Chain A
Amino acid sequence: DVVMTQSPLSLPVTLGQPASISCRSSHSLVHSDGNTYFNWFQQRPGQSPRRLIYKVSNRDSGVPDRFSGSGSGTDFTLKISRVEAEDIGVYYCMQGTHWPYTFGQGTKLEIK
């Protein structure tokens, strides 16, 4: 199985400051069709996960533009340009290129 490794696992940030989460996969996530099926999810406390970013860098509808995704191959990053209070929660990366689909361990974003 493809192992997804996130860092850091805990991320204390000051409101208004930027934040960055890294995700590394054990195998390249470039599919034979040319797409890279790598997504980011946010899970607020007590809620279901919500997809933020699909195929590395595409923001889902309704996701604030302070969220951005980048990367390629095996290394990916989620950036929040200015953290707001509503951003607290756990962030997961996920790959849908290789069977079975796998998630990272999660990064808990909290306010300092």
Chain B
Amino acid sequence: QVQLVQSGAEVKKPGASVKISCKTSGYTFTSYFMHWVRQAPGQGLEWMGIVNPSADVIEYAQKFRDRVTMTMDTSTRTVHMELSSLRSEDTAVYYCTRDDKNSWFAFWGQGTLVTVSS
């Protein structure tokens, strides 16, 4: 079955960077788009960007374009998301989520809590 397993919680200081991983299994890695979505404490969901493993195409939401880098490693079936210049407002749970043949966001990782605090 499809599994998305994310790396563990992180605590970072303002101005630092964080890199989160999402290891996949149970499907052909290059066959589906992967996204990153975040959720600040008690808040809603915010889409950050999309990775197309088959075409090596990555697109970011405008809001994050100057601070986020999403990469993929086909050999380990892992997608990474790095966010730089962290500020307190970046404290959130970050999710990787995969599409299916029907539509967006069919499968979700368990989430990674990133806490930004001095």
Which residues of A approach B to under 8 Å, CB–CB?
37, 39, 41, 48-51, 54-55, 58, 60, 92, 94, 96, 99-106
Contacts and interface: CB of A to CB of B under 8 A. Distances in A.
B108 A100 contact: no
Interface of B: 35, 44-47, 59, 61-62, 95, 97, 102-106, 108-111
Contact of A100 (B45, B47, B97): B47
A55 B103 contact: yes
B110 A37 contact: no
Contact of B45 (A50, A55, A58, A94): A94
19 contacts: A37-B104, A48-B108, A48-B111, A49-B45, A49-B97, A49-B108, A51-B105, A54-B102, A55-B102, A60-B106, A92-B44, A96-B105, A99-B59, A100-B62, A102-B47, A103-B44, A104-B44, A105-B44, A106-B44
Contacts of A60: 106
A51 B2 CA distance: 14
The secondary structure that dominates the A interface is loop
Contacts of B45: 41, 49, 92, 94, 103, 106
Nearest to B45: A103
A85 to B, nearest CB: 22
Contacts of A94: 45, 104-105
A48 B105 contact: no
Contacts of B105: 39, 41, 49, 51, 94, 96
B62 to A, nearest CB: 7
Contact of B104 (A48, A50, A101): A101
